[in-house]
Amino acid sequence: ADQFYESLLDAHQGLSREQSESFNARLVLVLANQVGSTHVLLACLKAAQESGAA
Protein backbone atom coordinates (compact mmCIF):
# COMPACT_ATOMS: atom_id res chain seq x y z
CA ALA A 1 0.00 0.00 0.00
CA ASP A 2 2.87 2.38 0.69
CA GLN A 3 4.25 1.91 -2.82
CA PHE A 4 0.81 2.56 -4.30
CA TYR A 5 0.37 5.71 -2.18
CA GLU A 6 3.76 7.03 -3.27
CA SER A 7 2.89 6.31 -6.91
CA LEU A 8 -0.46 8.05 -6.46
CA LEU A 9 1.24 11.14 -5.07
CA ASP A 10 3.75 11.07 -7.92
CA ALA A 11 0.91 10.88 -10.45
CA HIS A 12 -0.49 14.14 -9.03
CA GLN A 13 2.81 16.02 -9.25
CA GLY A 14 2.51 19.09 -11.45
CA LEU A 15 -1.26 18.83 -11.85
CA SER A 16 -3.58 21.73 -11.13
CA ARG A 17 -6.38 21.16 -8.66
CA GLU A 18 -8.82 20.67 -11.54
CA GLN A 19 -6.50 18.20 -13.29
CA SER A 20 -5.97 16.34 -10.00
CA GLU A 21 -9.71 16.04 -9.39
CA SER A 22 -10.24 14.82 -12.96
CA PHE A 23 -7.44 12.29 -12.54
CA ASN A 24 -9.02 11.02 -9.30
CA ALA A 25 -12.40 10.64 -10.99
CA ARG A 26 -10.87 8.64 -13.85
CA LEU A 27 -8.90 6.51 -11.41
CA VAL A 28 -12.03 5.70 -9.37
CA LEU A 29 -13.83 4.56 -12.52
CA VAL A 30 -10.89 2.44 -13.69
CA LEU A 31 -10.55 0.80 -10.26
CA ALA A 32 -14.31 0.21 -10.02
CA ASN A 33 -14.21 -1.47 -13.40
CA GLN A 34 -11.39 -3.72 -12.21
CA VAL A 35 -13.25 -4.67 -9.00
CA GLY A 36 -16.43 -5.39 -10.90
CA SER A 37 -18.48 -6.59 -7.92
CA THR A 38 -21.35 -4.27 -7.04
CA HIS A 39 -21.40 -5.67 -3.50
CA VAL A 40 -17.71 -4.87 -2.98
CA LEU A 41 -18.06 -1.44 -4.57
CA LEU A 42 -21.02 -0.54 -2.34
CA ALA A 43 -19.02 -1.65 0.71
CA CYS A 44 -16.16 0.58 -0.46
CA LEU A 45 -18.51 3.54 -0.85
CA LYS A 46 -19.80 2.99 2.67
CA ALA A 47 -16.27 2.71 4.08
CA ALA A 48 -15.23 5.93 2.34
CA GLN A 49 -18.31 7.76 3.64
CA GLU A 50 -17.67 6.57 7.18
CA SER A 51 -13.97 7.44 7.11
CA GLY A 52 -14.80 10.97 5.94
CA ALA A 53 -17.34 11.52 8.71
CA ALA A 54 -14.74 11.39 11.49
How many structural domains does the chain have?
Answer: 1
Distance CA 6, CA 54 (A): 24
Question: φ, ψ for residue 24 (rounded to 5)?
Answer: -60, -40
Domain that holds residue 17: 2-53
pLDDT of the residue at 54: 59
Residue 3: C-alpha distances to residues 32, 40, 49 (Å): 20, 23, 24
How many CA atoms, within 13 angstroms, populate the side-chain half-sphere of residue 42?
A: 3
pLDDT along the chain (54 residues), means of 10: 92 97 96 95 94 77
